[in-house]
Structure 1
């Protein structure tokens, strides 16, 4: 194991950026360029002749215009460099995406690093995307590495389901992998005939980056490269340039450590030339030292005495720096000063800090509120609400203090429910009114449009069977919506999780169905601007204190012109409720909402879930199951057994 540099000093360096000016560390060879753009190029890497260990570590800096930062490339393998780490012996680079049948993509470039000091790190993962895509890594025989992605398979209930086989698959890569050349094709026995001529891609990618940045296969469509992590070691042999050696100053021999160990022999001018027992090594600076262990005197002593809170000396002692550490000695002058000035100094310091803290906090809060208001779409929201026939007057703008107090600072005990768009809390206003406060997730551009869309639509909707929007708050980190409080949960719970002491009668189900139908009729035909809900399902139908239906969750809804017959969008919705015609054509109509409502009616009649693996594959969809029973003249077989014996 290579001893890692300390935690205490590294932690202090991270917390106190000012100490970076204590000493300028030299990372490149003398008279060599140390940076390319904002990327540090430490030896054994280098830019220009004589600045790198061997050709494998040669870096080309593509200096572009002032408006575009310079870009660094490893010359031998022509891969763009993002970061070089001496401590971890890794380099983060761009790796090309291999494709087949994709328009607008260049020729596929194989990667061959055989004989180089570089190999793909185990922190990467092999990924393939596309419908019915069978991707294999070539040139690593006898090993077989690859995966197959299907199309059309359900991903319900799978963790990280967007890359668990449906249009996306992943597998680990062999250790010390240096050759990447993937073949893409269709499986011998695909589940269906889709995807034969569709775009297929494969690539090796940093697994952590993929998890944090790729939420669906569509995100990769316009990308040509993805980041990967390469491990590297120092190889020594015939390819070392003449005159390039590693040195360790004899007086600083405790400053560095190499694994495998180095054989140090005397050299000229008191230096020691590094010779390896094996043909490779990795070095690092020891505790109390920082810098580049591959350079002469590269590991320099850290002066802990010049670093704020970098040492434990305090009170009546002073810090004295020693190689690799520090020691504390008694400071007589400090004792006198502390005795005479401690009380006065402490008082003045506290007063000054308190005033400064209050001033900074006040300014910071003002700037934060402005920043959040803009980021949460405040300007766009004002523009849209101002053109909605004065409906902005009906929407109250709440302050963050009001909603924090109402929800007990968003206490977990106040959570009413959680979903893909955020968390809903129960709140009590100062006048005693109970409300529901929806705290959206951290919004990207797409989620921001959904949030603004929900405010605009609900501000123009006024119907007894539609959840009423009371107001919103935009000055917090995440946007907040305030609705009327609906105390009895959602319809899904009463259909599928019914308690024995509660009788969910035929009459109640019929009344709820009627109320939802009235709400949809209003949205489609009677509202000032027709609205397509686009996500009608039993979990979005709330029940008030009298068990009256209230349609909610308008995050994906869209308003349309009165003479418009359909809406062409990316397909959104919930499987089991999704209109098949809309799924195939991407054209959403009022009939698509009606189809989803029909699935809710089937739920009310049957007490069964829209998608159930307890039914046969042919009848897995409740809508299909219902239609087949009608064709078989067995429609009464679908009735919920709890309804049997009740008068319709």
Structure 2
């Protein structure tokens, strides 16, 4: 009968499963290897001389090779170790499958563990598979253990249907079985259909079998299956004192068992039974088979074990813990001090919040004034009503709209700032641009630009909805454009999206209209100064919207140019502007010409894959036209669309826009008109060209009023003074 103390231990273990050691436990003998690959090797098992209890527990570790991982074997019984379950006193090993009438299988191997501390666990089952298989265990006389499987289709499923007789049968194994050898037979009927079919038998871990095997066929390709072996510590019948050198015999206990009868008992010192398994006592953890291998657990550090209330403190003692009651005076003193401290902290926190709130208000006022808010209010109040829809947002509104400018809301970043996607309180989706630092000396100019852009009302220009000046850097609020920018559709080809010539020509025409409007139709002319494909957005209907006016400047009606520090994007920058620092409307025309070249070629404005002379797309494009090789640069997606005349007309226009002499470039108004005429032709030549000219185009003959693809094929295109554009070394 198990003593009451053992029952108490079992109850506590069930009640508090979370108990664990605080520090790393020593499970192997000192200076001994404790793992083989990913398998832990605790004492009494061991690798190498002096590292195991006796030869039965010697483990041979075969190191990993290029073809296989490290593998552990029990040397005494020559079985591969899959896992040592120390707490259960079991070991999972590979057990052979015995077969008969099966092709391509190795020799049958039997297992004999007689006189060893190992025996098959009752968690295993004896399984036989195959048509008309009469299998039985040998070497366990006078007992007879076996089962018979019939010939029939097995039913997929679990215990109630699968392996219940049809092609598969199972039975339990005897207690403490140490020998595995099976006989496989068939019915005596010579007409038996299963006589020459493959039959197998094996002992297997029952849980593994039900979770991994669903049909007999799955086993036919296996050589081994996992089984569970129980192991014991053997000490002869005359009695041996266990761990006489242990300093603390209370730290562990041992359970003795007579294998012949299966009787169990509890001993703590001298044992008189054939076999023994040991455990660390309650409050200890570690390896009970090592001298002083069980170490005390500090229960006070384990929250669910430490049951001391707030009125007591936990004190750890060997094997357990105790709660000591604090004196009442100390308790009240601590509570009073804690309450006072808490009230003080709350007061300080509220005062800090109040001061911080006032500072934020003052700081917002300071930023608003510094960023030109008063000037903007004056401009808005003195306007004639054309910019009344422009709104001055508060920083709180835009912080809420952008989730405090969360990085996940970033739409893009550029030289002028970062753009975030936001949603206003009324549900409107907007783009919020957080500008970089604004020079205080140019704040008046910045405010004037906000006012100017507020008056711009063109369907192909991104609408400025308002701004916020309460922040350290100004925030601009634009309408949200959902389909990204033109650069992505030119250079990041998407198979599901057909970027047709009609769409390219329409986008180019819309951008030209917008720039023509800014240059000549707006109330105050505006130069964009940073025309590029990334600044051309596409709305839900893929209509072009010119954006990013961060570097834009307005001019008086009678002015012809601006003298400024050179700003722009390499690859799009007007060489004439770079040399003179004088930006004109023709500088925007040059940048637009680069965009036309991008639309025609699908090439990026700068490519380091080309030679240094041709690194810029503008130079490369014009030189190819001079060399009569325009077909070499056309985007392959434009081939076969029956728009040769339109493509060549746009190429000629792009070449004129890219003229190094700004005076020889067309104006944006002229560019817009010419693109509209090309679009209206719908693939047909302009009316002034005769049928003879059409024949000349098809034959590749040059016509003085136009350039065709035929011209480039036959090498008769006119020349144009071309010099290499500014190389990247200039920057």
TM-score bin, normalised by smaller chain: 0.3 to 0.5
Q: Is the 8 A contact 2:566 2:581 kept in 1?
A: yes
Q: Is the 8 A contact 1:140 1:179 kept in 2?
A: yes
The CA deviation at 1:356 is 1.7
Deviations 1:116-175 (A, max 9, x none): 999999999999999999999999999999999999999999999999999999999999
Q: Structure 1 214/430 Cα, relative in aligned 2: closer, same or farther at 3 Å?
A: farther
The CA deviation at 1:346 is 3.9
Q: Is the 8 A contact 1:248 1:271 kept in 2?
A: no
Instruction: Supply the distance in 1 between the matched residues of 2:564 and 2:166 (Cα, whole angstroms).
Output: 22
Q: Is the 8 A contact 2:126 2:204 kept in 1?
A: yes
Structure 1 range deviating more: 468-477 or 288-297: 288-297
Instruction: Supply the distance in 2 between the matched residues of 1:596 and 1:51 (Cα, whole angstroms).
Output: 80
Q: Is the 8 A contact 2:120 2:177 kept in 1?
A: yes
Structure 1 range deviating more: 290-299 or 313-322: 290-299
The CA deviation at 1:498 is 1.7
Q: Structure 1 310/555 Cα, relative in aligned 2: closer, same or farther at 3 Å?
A: farther
Q: Structure 1 503/48 Cα, relative in aligned 2: closer, same or farther at 3 Å?
A: closer
Instruction: Supply the distance in 1 between the matched residues of 2:623 and 2:145 (Cα, whole angstroms).
Output: 44
Q: Structure 1 121/33 Cα, relative in aligned 2: closer, same or farther at 3 Å?
A: same
Instruction: Supply the distance in 2 between the matched residues of 1:108 and 1:602 (Cα, whole angstroms).
Output: 78
Deviations 1:246-296 (A, max 9, x none): 9999999999999xxx99999999999999999999999999999999999
Structure 1 range deviating more: 414-423 or 387-396: 387-396
Structure 1 range deviating more: 440-449 or 571-580: 440-449
Deviations 1:356-378 (A, max 9, x none): 23421331221121122123332
Structure 1 range deviating more: 503-512 or 243-252: 243-252
Q: 1:508-523 alignment to 2 at 5 Å?
A: 508-523=503-518
Q: 1:583-622 alignment to 2 at 5 Å?
A: 583-622=578-617
Runs in 1 of length 4+ with deviation above 6 angstroms? 1-190, 192-237, 242-258, 262-337
Instruction: Supply the distance in 1 between the matched residues of 2:322 and 2:481 (Cα, whole angstroms).
Output: 66
The CA deviation at 1:244 is 83
The CA deviation at 1:103 is 99
Instruction: Supply the distance in 2 between the matched residues of 1:579 and 1:128 (Cα, whole angstroms).
Output: 87
The CA deviation at 1:400 is 1.9
The CA deviation at 1:401 is 2.1
Deviations 1:160-204 (A, max 9, x none): 9999999999999999999999999999999x9999999999999
SS in 2 for 1:265: coil
Q: Structure 1 343/543 Cα, relative in aligned 2: closer, same or farther at 3 Å?
A: same
Q: Structure 1 302/199 Cα, relative in aligned 2: closer, same or farther at 3 Å?
A: same
Q: Is the 8 A contact 1:128 1:169 kept in 2?
A: yes
SS in 2 for 1:598: helix
Matched, 1:314 2:306: no
Q: Structure 1 72/641 Cα, relative in aligned 2: closer, same or farther at 3 Å?
A: closer
Deviations 1:227-253 (A, max 9, x none): 99999999999xxxx999999999999
Instruction: Supply the distance in 2 between the matched residues of 1:143 and 1:531 (Cα, whole angstroms).
Output: 105
Q: Is the 8 A contact 1:605 1:639 kept in 2?
A: yes
The CA deviation at 1:306 is 34
Instruction: Supply the distance in 2 between the matched residues of 1:36 and 1:219 (Cα, whole angstroms).
Output: 29
Deviations 1:460-493 (A, max 9, x none): 2110000001111111233211110000111111
Q: Is the 8 A contact 1:513 1:601 kept in 2?
A: yes
Q: Structure 1 366/118 Cα, relative in aligned 2: closer, same or farther at 3 Å?
A: farther
Q: Structure 1 502/397 Cα, relative in aligned 2: closer, same or farther at 3 Å?
A: same
Q: Is the 8 A contact 2:460 2:511 kept in 1?
A: yes
The CA deviation at 1:622 is 1.4
Instruction: Supply the distance in 1 between the matched residues of 2:201 and 2:563 (Cα, whole angstroms).
Output: 30
- Aligned CA RMSD, in angstroms, stands at 22.7
The CA deviation at 1:451 is 5.2
Q: Is the 8 A contact 2:258 2:264 kept in 1?
A: no
The CA deviation at 1:427 is 1.2
Structure 1 range deviating more: 593-602 or 245-254: 245-254
Instruction: Supply the distance in 1 between the matched residues of 2:358 and 2:471 (Cα, whole angstroms).
Output: 15
Q: Is the 8 A contact 2:58 2:76 kept in 1?
A: yes
Deviations 1:530-589 (A, max 9, x none): 001111111111111111110011111111111111111121111211112111221111
Structure 1 range deviating more: 105-114 or 412-421: 105-114
Structure 1 range deviating more: 606-615 or 3-12: 3-12
Q: Structure 1 58/503 Cα, relative in aligned 2: closer, same or farther at 3 Å?
A: closer
The CA deviation at 1:407 is 1.5
Q: Structure 1 304/154 Cα, relative in aligned 2: closer, same or farther at 3 Å?
A: closer
Q: Is the 8 A contact 1:576 1:610 kept in 2?
A: yes
Q: Structure 1 257/339 Cα, relative in aligned 2: closer, same or farther at 3 Å?
A: same
Instruction: Supply the distance in 2 between the matched residues of 1:196 and 1:563 (Cα, whole angstroms).
Output: 110
Instruction: Supply the distance in 1 between the matched residues of 2:198 and 2:631 (Cα, whole angstroms).
Output: 46
Q: Is the 8 A contact 1:133 1:186 kept in 2?
A: yes
Q: Is the 8 A contact 2:484 2:537 kept in 1?
A: yes
Q: Is the 8 A contact 1:74 1:81 kept in 2?
A: yes
Deviations 1:309-367 (A, max 9, x none): 99999999999999999999999999699458436634642553354234213312211
Structure 1 range deviating more: 633-642 or 51-60: 51-60
Q: Is the 8 A contact 2:19 2:305 kept in 1?
A: no
The CA deviation at 1:389 is 4.0
The CA deviation at 1:513 is 0.3
Q: Structure 1 563/301 Cα, relative in aligned 2: closer, same or farther at 3 Å?
A: farther
The CA deviation at 1:626 is 1.9
Q: Structure 1 415/174 Cα, relative in aligned 2: closer, same or farther at 3 Å?
A: farther
| Structure-1 residue corresponding to 2:725 | none
Q: Is the 8 A contact 1:305 1:321 kept in 2?
A: yes
The CA deviation at 1:501 is 1.7
Structure 1 range deviating more: 333-342 or 555-564: 333-342
SS in 2 for 1:270: strand
Instruction: Supply the distance in 2 between the matched residues of 1:218 and 1:252 (Cα, whole angstroms).
Output: 55
Q: Structure 1 471/91 Cα, relative in aligned 2: closer, same or farther at 3 Å?
A: farther
Deviations 1:56-114 (A, max 9, x none): 99999999999999999999999999999999999999999999999999999999999
Q: Structure 1 66/25 Cα, relative in aligned 2: closer, same or farther at 3 Å?
A: farther
Q: Structure 1 352/482 Cα, relative in aligned 2: closer, same or farther at 3 Å?
A: same
SS in 2 for 1:19: coil
Unaligned runs of 5+ in 2: 642-731
Deviations 1:361-413 (A, max 9, x none): 33122112112212333234445555654455221111222222222222222
Instruction: Supply the distance in 2 between the matched residues of 1:200 and 1:588 (Cα, whole angstroms).
Output: 92
Structure 1 range deviating more: 331-340 or 262-271: 262-271
Q: Structure 1 347/163 Cα, relative in aligned 2: closer, same or farther at 3 Å?
A: farther
The CA deviation at 1:591 is 0.9
Q: Structure 1 155/386 Cα, relative in aligned 2: closer, same or farther at 3 Å?
A: farther
Q: Structure 1 169/534 Cα, relative in aligned 2: closer, same or farther at 3 Å?
A: farther
Structure 1 range deviating more: 543-552 or 429-438: 429-438
Structure with larger RCO (C-alpha < 8 A, sep 6+) = 1
Q: Structure 1 563/368 Cα, relative in aligned 2: closer, same or farther at 3 Å?
A: same
SS in 1 for 2:322: strand
SS in 1 for 2:343: helix
The CA deviation at 1:631 is 2.0
Instruction: Supply the distance in 2 between the matched residues of 1:220 and 1:443 (Cα, whole angstroms).
Output: 76
Q: Is the 8 A contact 2:380 2:388 kept in 1?
A: no
Deviations 1:577-632 (A, max 9, x none): 11121112211111111111111001100111112122222222211122222222
The CA deviation at 1:639 is 1.2
Unaligned runs of 5+ in 1: none
Q: Structure 1 17/142 Cα, relative in aligned 2: closer, same or farther at 3 Å?
A: closer
